[in-house]
Amino acid sequence: MMKQPLALVPAVTVSNGHAQLPPAGYGESPGTGTLAQAVAAWVRQGAAWVHVVDQDAVDGSGDNRRHIVRSGAHLQLAGGISDDASLHAALHTGASRVVIESSDLEWAARAVASRDERIAVAIDVRQPDAADAVGHLQHAGASRFVVTDTAPQHHWRHEDRHLLAELLERTSRPVMARGGIAHLSDLHGLHELVPHGIDGIIVDHALYDGDFTYAEAVTASADRFDLFYWGPPE
């Protein structure tokens, strides 16, 4: 049986040049270091992609673009990319892909019209017009979506996964899912949507809180999916 491609992507939040490092082992607390150190730690665990959230750009207090350098993994940069200036700056970092905001739908449509495959679009699965926004942006030229569930008490199961499935029906573009993953069972639930367009899962808090390790996430997925479809940068 041919395996389908699936990227398991650890998330790193960077603020004022500092990033949280993954725990060294069970029972260990996450440390703090540079973004380069955080990326290197995930690469050692086998990650080919790392999702980087620029928290200062999200907060409007600055940015960490100078820390986005080419490394042993592909970097997917997100956070505060919502106008021409921030998009231009993000595309000129070492990031392999940038994730733009879709709160200004018309600006996002103009941005993806360039057909630059390095641009993905962030969609909140709970926004009222999410399905229509996906359809509109695909028509405009979007090549990929990053769909997030921001509800703190929900996971990708039951009605949450149903919302994601509805979005997948509206696009033929690949989708990464982020948020709501607290247990390996949440990963298993998302696995069922891979045939419908999910090709990446971004995992954040669970990897830092000790709920499971990156190696355990890989083990839970490797028997069904090709986790090495996207190799590290050459």
- Indicate if the pLDDT at residue 152 is higher than 60: no
CA 59 from centre of chain: 19
Q: Which of 24-28, 151-155, 162-166, 220-224 has the lowest mean pLDDT?
A: 151-155
- Position 192 scores a pLDDT of 92
Closest CA to 99 of 202, 192, 25, 15: 202
What lies within 8 Å, CB to CB, of 171 at 6+ separation is: 134, 135, 138, 145, 197
Closest CA to 207 of 7, 2, 10, 8: 10
- Position 153 scores a pLDDT of 54
Among positive and negative, which fits the CA dihedral 193, 196, 199, 203? negative
Question: Where does residue 81 rank: exposed (0-12), middle (13-18), buried (19+ CB within 10 A)?
Answer: buried
Q: Give residue-wise pLDDT tens across range 70-108.
A: 888 999 999 999 999 999 999 999 899 999 999 999 999
The pLDDT-based confidence of 151 (bands split at 50, 70, 90) is low
Q: Mean pLDDT, to the nearest integer, of 10-22? A: 95
Structural domains of the chain in order of their starting residue, each with its CATH number: 4-226 (3.20.20.70)
